[in-house]
Structure 1
């Protein structure tokens, strides 16, 4: 995905380009400094041109700008802290090994993260998020009932020790208590490999 740039001004239009399509355009980086009105703060911008070459171009020549600096790496790779300081082979092994992790009985969110842990956990669909804002009315191992602000009542079923397609244990645990206030999209139950709504693949070990 790229944001369209018209006459040196970044618009809210998002276009999805294939690899051969994007090669025909001049693309600026996502962290390029912009003015409040969406124009480029500097007259010359660092861009990627045909063939992947990097050069400085005039702001009027830019066709697109990246949506996020992270869009060039996968979700697993984006969860490696200080990725730019890692050897390429080690980073490759690290991102592959994250996909091979199995759920722990006691999940533990990493002390050092990149900010992708919450989105990775919630977007995967393994956690239960509140559909409406309200107050938690009842909590048990099997369900969570929320009295919504609009007067309706919602009961969320919690999966207990189901079998996943990979043959691992799929278990969800409520992380709210009776009387707690919940907002829309707030995580109310952890899934496997999550801790307080954040991705938790391993343990924070103390090593010598």
Structure 2
């Protein structure tokens, strides 16, 4: 299941409903980057949507849901390919597959070009260690990481 924002009479609400791939086929779903005005009304006369696997334009009154994110329809691996929307299909597929085959490095480096979701992917992977407070790493070995916590962040109790 994936989240969608509800749309009633052309107004995009903050209510989120989760739909399966089978259920989403029954509804007209607007793209996440469809223009809205200050009152969260769909602003265009015809909105880019998908319905039963087809891309089409529909008036706002016929839209049932809106994507939460423009990257919602692609996998995490594909979403990590920079400028995916400007690549042809074969290049995008190769980029996603190459990420799946990537080998971890001994010294990690930030990518030169990113998509902005790298932090969320790492956090949500479940294999990272996240500190609850800021500090300085004093020691690392295979079994533990010792962090000297910032004095200002140490709470009583």
Distance 2:42 2:6 in 1: 13
| Cα deviation, residue 89, structure 1 | 2.6
Q: Which residue of 1 aligns with 2:5?
A: 3
Number of residues paired by the alignment? 150
Q: CA RMSD in A?
A: 2.2
For the residue of structure 2 that corresponds to 1:84, the secondary structure is: helix
Answer yes or no: is 1:65 the counterpart of 2:69: no
Q: Which residue of 2 aligns with 1:27?
A: 29
Instruction: Name structure 1 gaps, 5 residues minimum.
Output: 154-208
Partner deviation per Cα, 1:104-152 (whole Å, 9 max, x = no partner) = 11212111111122211222233332324xx527722231132463624
Instruction: Name structure 2 gaps, 5 residues minimum.
Output: none
Q: Which residue of 2 aligns with 1:124?
A: 125
Q: Which residue of 2 aligns with 1:87?
A: 88
TM-score, normalising length from structure 2? Answer: 0.83
| Cα deviation, residue 56, structure 1 | 2.2
TM-score, normalising length from structure 1? Answer: 0.64
Alignment map for 1:1-208 (pairs within 5 Å): 1-49=3-51, 51-132=52-133, 136=135, 139-141=138-140, 142-146=145-149, 147=151, 149=153, 151-152=155-156
